[in-house]
């Protein structure tokens, strides 16, 4: 993940620290209580630590994995003390977060792995999917890249309208058709147009419905097939957008979408409004899919390239947490 560290500047770190404040405050206070008055890491400390992780919505399976790893290290070093626990906990939390494969690594400033780089964006309505697409478009354009949007969520007029507003706000072109049009047709026209315009990035919005998983799978498969008629190895990314504030409900959504299509990356939104930011760990660990972006605020700049080491550092930054309380 050193690739991302190069471009994770002071401004991004401040946004991350601030965006995770609600999660961090509760999380750290519980960890502090878990080890208060203890000189060694014993069974009671581990039980309390487990409670702290679960309450931050890290999830049972992921929490158990982290605790087991810590138990292994405690058993090897009988004199492990609680002052060392924070460092070990950070290491084990980082280890459950999936690294981005080198061939798929990019950020806003770096060259894209392919041109045009086609990102198909999936997720249920209300998670911030269309807003995320708008923020991605803004940040890519700001970095000097040409961007094209495709409004393939044709089942809701509001979705097309919302994406159109974003295209106008950011100043990037959009391909759209009337409500009820075939989504795959919109995706096909978008990719064709992107090739003709020599676009760097193509972002395709898709319908956010889960009530009929078979239909969703069929629709997403069809979009993929028609896109591949133009660019055989596209879409290069299928990005699932999840609302971090919904906690374990986000896990259920991830189960549906990973069953319906091959999800290659995650964006977790609305982390600034929740104390349940630990769900990022749970989702990444359970589905073995890398988190590429996180949303930590309303501003267009508040969509950050995810850096797992910086994320964990922000969770454990006691000095900043105390200063902001």
Tens digits of per-residue pLDDT, 73-92?
888 876 677 778 878 888 88
Distance CA 60, CA 83 (A): 25
pLDDT at 139: 95
**Whole-angstrom Cα distance, residue 142 to residue 126?**
26
Tokens representing 18 are 């601030």
Q: Give counts: helices (H), strands (E), the chain.
A: 14, 8
- pLDDT category at 108 given cuts 50, 70, 90 is very high
Mean pLDDT of 289-299: 90
Q: Give the pLDDT score at 211.
A: 57
Those residues with Cβ within 8 angstroms of residue 189's Cβ, 6 or more apart along the chain or in another chain = 150, 175, 177
Helices 43-55 and 60-76: crossing angle, nearest 10°?
150
pLDDT at 248: 78
* Tokens linked to 323: 């200063």
Whether the CB-CB separation of 271 and 302 falls below 8 Å is answered with: no
pLDDT, one tens digit per residue, over 21-61 is 877 777 777 777 777 777 778 888 888 889 888 887 888 88
End-to-end, the C-alpha distance of the chain in Å comes to: 31
- Assess whether pLDDT exceeds 60 at residue 146: yes
Asked whether 227 and 220 are in contact (CB, 8 A), the reply is no
Percent of the chain with pLDDT over 90: 40
Distance from C-alpha of 300 to C-alpha of 259, rounded to nearest angstrom: 31
Q: Is the pLDDT of residue 217 over 90?
A: no
| CA–CA distances in Å: residue 61 to residues 42, 93, 282 | 21, 13, 8
Say what the pLDDT of residue 6 is: 42
Ordered alpha helix ranges (H), 171-269:
183-197, 213-230, 248-260
Instruction: State whether residue 57 is helix, strand or coil.
Output: coil
What is the structure's pLDDT at 80?
72
HEC per residue, 95-123: HHCCCCCHHHCCCCCCCCCCCCEEEEEEC
Q: How far apart are CA 87 and CA 126, in angstroms?
A: 37
């Amino acid at each position: 993940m050193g690739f991302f560290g190069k471009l994770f500047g002071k401004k991004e770190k401040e946004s991350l620290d601030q965006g995770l404040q609600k999660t961090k405050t509760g999380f750290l206070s519980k960890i502090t209580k878990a080890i208060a008055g203890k000189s060694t890491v014993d069974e009671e400390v581990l039980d309390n630590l487990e409670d702290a992780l679960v309450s931050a919505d890290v999830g049972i399976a992921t929490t158990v994995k982290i605790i087991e790893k810590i138990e292994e290290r405690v058993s090897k070093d009988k004199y492990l003390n609680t002052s060392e626990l924070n460092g070990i906990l950070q290491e084990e939390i980082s280890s459950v977060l999936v690294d981005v494969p080198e061939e798929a690594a990019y950020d806003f400033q770096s060259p894209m792995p392919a041109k045009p780089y086609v990102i198909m964006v999936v997720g249920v309505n209300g998670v911030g999917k269309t807003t995320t697409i708008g923020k991605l478009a803004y940040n890519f354009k700001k970095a000097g890249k040409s961007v094209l949007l495709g409004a393939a969520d044709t089942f809701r007029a509001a979705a097309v309208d919302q994406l159109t507003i974003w295209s106008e706000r950011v100043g990037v072109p959009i391909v759209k058709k009337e409500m009820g049009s075939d989504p795959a047709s919109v995706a096909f026209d978008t990719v064709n147009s992107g090739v003709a315009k020599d676009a760097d990035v193509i972002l395709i919005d898709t319908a956010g419905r889960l009530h009929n998983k078979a239909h969703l799978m069929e629709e997403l498969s069809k979009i993929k097939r028609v896109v591949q008629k133009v660019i055989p190895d596209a879409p290069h990314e299928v990005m699932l957008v999840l609302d971090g504030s919904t906690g374990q409900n986000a896990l259920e959504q991830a189960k549906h979408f990973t069953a319906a299509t091959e999800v290659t990356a995650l964006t977790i939104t609305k982390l600034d409004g929740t104390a349940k930011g630990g769900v990022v760990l749970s989702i990444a660990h359970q589905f073995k899919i890398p988190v590429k972006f996180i949303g930590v605020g309303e501003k267009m700049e508040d969509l950050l390239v995810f850096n797992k080491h910086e994320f964990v550092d922000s969770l454990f930054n006691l000095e900043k947490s105390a200063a902001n309380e």
